[in-house]
Chain A
Protein backbone atom coordinates (compact mmCIF):
# COMPACT_ATOMS: atom_id res chain seq x y z
CA UNK A 1 0.00 0.00 0.00
CA UNK A 2 1.28 3.43 -0.92
CA UNK A 3 -0.21 6.86 -1.57
CA UNK A 4 0.09 6.29 -5.33
CA UNK A 5 -3.11 5.71 -7.29
CA UNK A 6 -4.08 2.23 -8.48
CA UNK A 7 -3.36 3.44 -12.02
CA UNK A 8 0.25 4.19 -11.11
CA UNK A 9 0.41 0.75 -9.45
CA UNK A 10 -0.59 -0.75 -12.80
CA UNK A 11 2.10 1.22 -14.62
CA UNK A 12 4.71 0.05 -12.11
CA UNK A 13 3.67 -3.56 -12.64
CA UNK A 14 3.61 -3.19 -16.44
CA UNK A 15 6.91 -1.33 -16.71
CA UNK A 16 9.02 -2.93 -14.01
CA UNK A 17 7.58 -5.51 -11.60
CA UNK A 18 6.34 -7.82 -14.36
CA UNK A 19 9.99 -8.17 -15.41
CA UNK A 20 11.06 -9.12 -11.85
CA UNK A 21 8.54 -11.77 -10.81
CA UNK A 22 8.01 -15.13 -12.50
CA UNK A 23 4.22 -14.80 -12.25
CA UNK A 24 4.50 -11.73 -14.56
CA UNK A 25 2.16 -9.91 -12.22
CA UNK A 26 2.13 -9.16 -8.51
CA UNK A 27 0.32 -12.05 -6.77
CA UNK A 28 -1.37 -9.88 -4.13
CA UNK A 29 -3.49 -6.70 -4.21
CA UNK A 30 -1.55 -3.43 -4.46
CA UNK A 31 -3.60 -0.96 -2.45
CA UNK A 32 -3.86 2.76 -2.94
CA UNK A 33 -3.87 5.07 0.09
CA UNK A 34 -4.57 8.49 -1.41
CA UNK A 35 -4.04 11.22 1.16
CA UNK A 36 -2.43 8.70 3.51
CA UNK A 37 -5.75 8.18 5.32
CA UNK A 38 -5.01 4.57 6.20
CA UNK A 39 -1.33 5.27 6.89
CA UNK A 40 -2.45 7.88 9.43
CA UNK A 41 -4.51 5.42 11.49
CA UNK A 42 -1.69 2.86 11.32
CA UNK A 43 0.88 5.47 12.43
CA UNK A 44 3.09 5.21 9.33
CA UNK A 45 2.17 8.44 7.53
CA UNK A 46 4.93 11.02 7.13
CA UNK A 47 3.23 14.44 7.17
CA UNK A 48 6.22 16.33 5.78
CA UNK A 49 6.72 14.17 2.72
CA UNK A 50 3.10 13.07 2.28
CA UNK A 51 4.01 9.39 2.02
CA UNK A 52 3.51 6.18 3.97
CA UNK A 53 6.88 5.00 5.27
CA UNK A 54 7.98 1.35 5.29
CA UNK A 55 5.64 -0.14 7.89
CA UNK A 56 4.73 -3.81 7.92
CA UNK A 57 1.96 -5.33 10.02
CA UNK A 58 1.18 -9.01 10.63
CA UNK A 59 -2.53 -9.48 11.26
CA UNK A 60 -3.82 -12.82 12.57
CA UNK A 61 -7.01 -14.63 11.40
CA UNK A 62 -9.00 -12.82 14.13
CA UNK A 63 -7.93 -9.44 12.75
CA UNK A 64 -5.54 -8.76 15.64
CA UNK A 65 -2.13 -7.13 15.07
CA UNK A 66 0.58 -9.59 16.18
CA UNK A 67 3.69 -7.79 14.93
CA UNK A 68 4.87 -4.68 13.15
CA UNK A 69 8.09 -3.27 11.79
CA UNK A 70 8.97 0.27 10.73
CA UNK A 71 11.94 1.10 8.53
CA UNK A 72 13.11 4.50 7.23
CA UNK A 73 12.86 4.88 3.43
CA UNK A 74 16.51 4.27 2.36
CA UNK A 75 16.68 0.74 3.80
CA UNK A 76 14.68 -2.10 2.26
CA UNK A 77 13.13 -4.94 4.14
CA UNK A 78 14.11 -8.58 4.63
CA UNK A 79 11.25 -10.67 3.21
CA UNK A 80 12.47 -14.04 4.63
CA UNK A 81 12.18 -12.54 8.14
CA UNK A 82 8.53 -11.67 7.51
CA UNK A 83 7.86 -15.24 6.32
CA UNK A 84 9.73 -16.66 9.33
CA UNK A 85 7.58 -14.61 11.70
CA UNK A 86 4.37 -15.80 10.02
CA UNK A 87 5.53 -19.42 10.35
CA UNK A 88 6.37 -18.87 14.01
CA UNK A 89 3.04 -17.16 14.73
CA UNK A 90 1.12 -19.94 13.00
CA UNK A 91 2.90 -22.54 15.11
CA UNK A 92 2.30 -20.61 18.33
CA UNK A 93 -1.36 -20.12 17.45
CA UNK A 94 -1.87 -23.82 16.77
CA UNK A 95 -0.28 -24.59 20.15
CA UNK A 96 -2.97 -22.49 21.90
CA UNK A 97 -0.56 -20.99 24.39
CA UNK A 98 1.54 -24.13 25.04
CA UNK A 99 4.36 -23.31 22.63
CA UNK A 100 6.88 -20.52 22.06
CA UNK A 101 9.62 -19.95 19.53
CA UNK A 102 12.95 -18.66 20.91
CA UNK A 103 15.08 -15.97 19.23
CA UNK A 104 16.61 -17.19 15.99
CA UNK A 105 13.99 -19.94 15.66
CA UNK A 106 13.30 -21.27 12.20
CA UNK A 107 10.90 -24.00 11.03
CA UNK A 108 12.28 -27.41 12.02
CA UNK A 109 14.14 -26.12 15.07
CA UNK A 110 13.35 -26.84 18.71
CA UNK A 111 10.10 -25.33 19.97
CA UNK A 112 9.87 -24.32 23.63
CA UNK A 113 7.02 -25.33 25.94
CA UNK A 114 6.85 -22.58 28.56
CA UNK A 115 6.16 -23.69 32.11
CA UNK A 116 7.70 -23.84 35.57
CA UNK A 117 10.23 -26.48 34.47
CA UNK A 118 11.58 -24.26 31.71
CA UNK A 119 12.31 -21.28 33.96
CA UNK A 120 16.08 -21.01 34.28
CA UNK A 121 16.57 -23.99 32.00
CA UNK A 122 16.19 -22.48 28.53
CA UNK A 123 19.98 -22.70 28.10
CA UNK A 124 19.76 -26.49 28.22
CA UNK A 125 17.36 -26.76 25.27
CA UNK A 126 18.24 -23.63 23.29
CA UNK A 127 22.00 -23.16 23.07
CA UNK A 128 23.40 -19.88 21.74
CA UNK A 129 24.64 -21.45 18.48
CA UNK A 130 21.06 -22.43 17.59
CA UNK A 131 20.07 -18.76 17.45
CA UNK A 132 22.69 -17.83 14.88
CA UNK A 133 22.49 -20.27 11.97
Chain B
Protein backbone atom coordinates (compact mmCIF):
# COMPACT_ATOMS: atom_id res chain seq x y z
CA UNK B 1 0.00 0.00 0.00
CA UNK B 2 1.50 3.31 -1.08
CA UNK B 3 1.90 5.99 1.55
CA UNK B 4 0.13 9.25 0.87
CA UNK B 5 2.34 12.35 0.84
CA UNK B 6 1.45 14.98 3.43
CA UNK B 7 -0.65 17.75 1.92
CA UNK B 8 0.52 20.66 4.01
CA UNK B 9 1.97 24.08 3.76
CA UNK B 10 4.70 23.44 1.24
CA UNK B 11 5.00 21.65 -2.05
CA UNK B 12 5.57 17.93 -1.42
CA UNK B 13 8.93 16.88 -2.84
CA UNK B 14 10.59 13.68 -3.97
CA UNK B 15 13.39 12.16 -1.91
CA UNK B 16 16.15 9.93 -3.24
CA UNK B 17 16.29 6.75 -1.17
CA UNK B 18 19.92 6.11 -0.35
CA UNK B 19 21.07 2.49 -0.33
CA UNK B 20 21.97 1.47 3.25
CA UNK B 21 25.68 0.80 2.53
CA UNK B 22 26.12 4.40 1.42
CA UNK B 23 25.66 5.66 4.96
CA UNK B 24 28.73 3.72 6.08
CA UNK B 25 30.95 5.43 3.50
CA UNK B 26 31.52 8.98 4.63
CA UNK B 27 33.12 10.01 1.32
CA UNK B 28 29.82 9.49 -0.53
CA UNK B 29 27.77 11.63 1.87
CA UNK B 30 26.49 14.62 -0.05
CA UNK B 31 27.59 17.88 1.45
CA UNK B 32 24.86 20.39 2.08
CA UNK B 33 25.68 23.69 0.47
CA UNK B 34 25.38 26.73 2.68
CA UNK B 35 23.76 29.64 0.93
CA UNK B 36 24.88 33.06 2.06
CA UNK B 37 22.12 35.28 3.37
CA UNK B 38 21.44 38.63 1.78
CA UNK B 39 22.80 41.60 3.71
CA UNK B 40 20.76 44.71 4.51
CA UNK B 41 22.11 47.65 2.50
CA UNK B 42 23.42 45.36 -0.23
CA UNK B 43 22.17 45.49 -3.82
CA UNK B 44 19.50 42.88 -4.45
CA UNK B 45 20.94 40.32 -6.91
CA UNK B 46 19.38 40.93 -10.32
CA UNK B 47 17.56 38.12 -12.13
CA UNK B 48 15.07 37.35 -14.86
CA UNK B 49 12.31 34.83 -14.29
CA UNK B 50 9.30 33.51 -16.20
CA UNK B 51 6.04 34.71 -14.70
CA UNK B 52 2.27 34.59 -14.94
CA UNK B 53 0.78 38.12 -14.96
CA UNK B 54 -2.39 39.69 -16.36
CA UNK B 55 -3.57 36.43 -17.96
CA UNK B 56 -0.29 36.18 -19.83
CA UNK B 57 3.11 34.50 -19.61
CA UNK B 58 5.91 37.04 -19.39
CA UNK B 59 9.56 37.41 -18.44
CA UNK B 60 10.27 39.62 -15.44
CA UNK B 61 13.60 41.32 -14.80
CA UNK B 62 14.16 42.72 -11.31
CA UNK B 63 16.25 45.68 -12.50
CA UNK B 64 13.34 46.86 -14.69
CA UNK B 65 11.73 47.90 -11.40
CA UNK B 66 14.49 50.34 -10.39
CA UNK B 67 12.81 53.57 -9.28
CA UNK B 68 10.05 51.69 -7.49
CA UNK B 69 9.76 49.90 -4.18
CA UNK B 70 9.66 46.12 -4.70
CA UNK B 71 8.35 43.39 -2.43
CA UNK B 72 10.05 40.14 -3.44
CA UNK B 73 8.13 37.33 -1.83
CA UNK B 74 9.11 33.65 -1.84
CA UNK B 75 6.74 30.86 -0.81
CA UNK B 76 7.03 27.07 -0.65
CA UNK B 77 4.51 26.17 -3.32
CA UNK B 78 1.32 27.04 -5.15
CA UNK B 79 -1.87 26.06 -3.30
CA UNK B 80 -0.26 26.91 0.05
CA UNK B 81 -1.29 29.98 2.04
CA UNK B 82 1.69 32.15 1.14
A interface residues, Cβ below 8 angstroms from B: 1-13, 16, 25-26, 28-33, 37-47, 49-68, 73-74, 76-77, 82, 86, 89-90
Contact = CB atoms under 8 A, between A and B. Distances in A.
B82 to A, nearest CB: 7
12 contacts: A10-B52, A25-B54, A37-B47, A38-B49, A43-B36, A54-B82, A57-B71, A60-B69, A63-B43, A64-B41, A66-B41, A73-B10
B35 A52 contact: no
B33 interface: yes
A30 B40 contact: no
A127 B5 CA distance: 51
Contacts of B44: 57, 59, 63-65
Given A43-B37, A43-B38, A50-B11, 16 more contacts: A1-B75, A2-B75, A13-B52, A42-B38, A49-B76, A51-B10, A52-B74, A54-B82, A56-B71, A59-B70, A59-B71, A60-B69, A61-B68, A63-B43, A68-B38, A82-B71
A59 B75 contact: no
B29 interface: no
Contact of A45 (B35, B57, B68, B77): B35
A41 B69 contact: no
Contacts of B32: 47
A30 B79 contact: no
B33 to A, nearest CB: 7
